Amino acid sequence: MTSKYEITTATLQGDPPGKEQPLLPFIRLREVSYDYPTSRQGQEEFPALRDVSLDIYLGEFLAILGANGSGKSTLARHLNALLVPDKGTVEVAGNLSSDQLKRFTIRQLVGMVFQNPDNQIVATVVEEDVAFGLENLGLPRGEMQKRVAQVLQQFGLWEYRQLAPHLLSGGQKQRLAIAGVVAMAPQCIVFDEATAMLDPAGRREVLACMRQLCQQGHGIVLITQQVEEALMADRVVLLDEGRIATTGTPEEIFRQIDLLQRLQLEAPLLAELSWRLHGEGLLSEHRLRNPVEMAADICLSKRKI
């Protein structure tokens, strides 16, 4: 029998570049399929997830990108045992989610932030909401107080600790939701379209939090329909009708404008521009770059013509 943590070829394929990698995948999905029991059978509908295999590492920033109904949320809910696969396995740090007794451990290891901050804040006071998850873990009061104070300061909510959550701004509320998750000290945090309901300022706040958490060594899984957000990831997984269409670095993914269009995703503006200019023969090469580089490349190409 091979060791549980042995590296397979599948894990090597998606190695994020430029980062020191722990050897073992933290979350490991093997041929996961899932169909909602309530979904209409017999019609031409596909199951929510089909044969999804994916490895997620600590310290990595992974983006999962897909159109509406492509199965992103379903996949997210498998990562912390809110859903258990019909077929295949999900393993978090060696704990199988099919094992009822391990689910509590798995949820402790993998935190989850949802789209609507209003619907995930439980308590009527900021401070107490952060403590909600800690109470569930059964931590002693002193430890709770320490952690609550620490995360409230980390996320800039210390002054608001006695306030009712509905008095906070959208970005602050979502930061509170994140703080509540981070206080539980998970290793990996999944954000299921956690920026979708925020204004640009709130979105920037939350994205900054994610980056900070990733730098601290957490695994970050960012689920989004916003292609621009996926640009900051180390690795992007494209989901289509419950299947993984492709994975790669943002660079690799966003070069494939036709694929993005087929999956009803908007390409990043600069990628699309580069692709069109390349099609017109104004750019010799189609790749992802910033505006300054692009301008320089256009000048260079023109001179050559």
Partner 1 sequence: MGILRGITIGQHYPVDSLLHRLDPRTKILGTMVYLVALLGANDPLPFLAVAAVTVFLCTISHIPWRLLSNGLRPLRYIIIFTFVLHLFVTPGGTLLGQLGRLAVYSGGVWRGAQLAFRLVLMILTTSLLTLTTSPIVLTDGLERLLAIFKPLGLPAHELAMMMTIALRFIPILIEEADKISKAQIARGADLESGSLLQRLQSMLPILVPLFISALRRADELAIAMEARCYRGGEGRSQYIELSFSRADKVALLLLSLGLVATLGNMLWSWFSNGV
Ligand X SMILES: Nc1ncnc2c1ncn2[C@@H]1O[C@H](COP(=O)(O)OP(=O)(O)OP(=O)(O)O)[C@@H](O)[C@H]1O
DSSP H or E run through 10: helix 9-13
DSSP 170-235: HHHHHHHHHHHHHTT--SEEEEESTTTTS-HHHHHHHHHHHHHHHHTT-EEEEEES-HHHHTTSSE
According to the binding rule CB under 5 A, does residue 256 interact with Mg ion? no
Minimum CB distance to Mg ion, residue 193 (Å): 6
Do 207 and 224 contact (CB within 8 A), yes or no? no
Of 41-49, 58-66, 69-77, 170-178: span binding Mg ion (CB under 5 A) = 69-77
Among 50, 72, 107, 255, binds ligand X (CB under 6 A): 72
According to the binding rule CB under 6 A, does residue 38 interact with ligand X? yes
Among 96, 123, 196, 277, binds partner 1 (CB under 8 A): 123
d(C-alpha 67, C-alpha 28), whole Å: 23
Between 22 and 69, whose beta carbon lies closer to ligand X?
A: 69
According to the binding rule CB under 6 A, does residue 74 interact with ligand X? yes
Indicate which of Mg ion, ligand X, partner 1, none lies near residue 201 (CB less than 5 to 8 Å, by partner kind): none
DSSP 144-173: HHHHHHHHHHHTT-GGGTTS-GGGS-HHHH
Among 107, 175, 203, 255, binds partner 1 (CB under 8 A): 107
d(C-alpha 263, C-alpha 258), whole Å: 9
d(C-alpha 147, C-alpha 258), whole Å: 47
According to the binding rule CB under 6 A, does residue 290 interact with ligand X? no
d(C-alpha 86, C-alpha 77), whole Å: 13
Indicate which of partner 1, ligand X, Mg ion, none lies near residue 13 (CB less than 5 to 8 Å, by partner kind): none
Indicate which of partner 1, ligand X, Mg ion, none lies near residue 165 (CB less than 5 to 8 Å, by partner kind): partner 1
The three-state secondary structure class of 88 is: strand
According to the binding rule CB under 6 A, does residue 224 interact with ligand X? no
Between 115 and 301, whose beta carbon lies closer to Mg ion?
A: 115
Between 64 and 271, whose beta carbon lies closer to ligand X?
A: 64
The three-state secondary structure class of 43 is: coil
135-174: which residues touch partner 1 (CB under 8 A)? 135-141, 144-145, 148, 162, 164-166
The three-state secondary structure class of 248 is: strand
Binding mask 2-31 for Mg ion (x = CB under 5 A): ------------------------------
Of residues 105, 101, 83, the one with CA closest to residue 92: 105
According to the binding rule CB under 6 A, does residue 120 interact with ligand X? no
Among 11, 70, 73, 195, binds Mg ion (CB under 5 A): 73
Structure tokens given for 245: 């269409």
Minimum CB distance to partner 1, residue 48 (Å): 15
According to the binding rule CB under 5 A, does residue 120 interact with Mg ion? no
**Angle value at C-alpha 250, between 248 and 253, nearest 5 degrees:** 60
Q: Which residues contact partner 1 by CB under 8 A?
A: 77, 80, 82, 104, 107-108, 111-112, 114, 116, 118-125, 128, 131-141, 144-145, 148, 162, 164-166, 180-181, 184
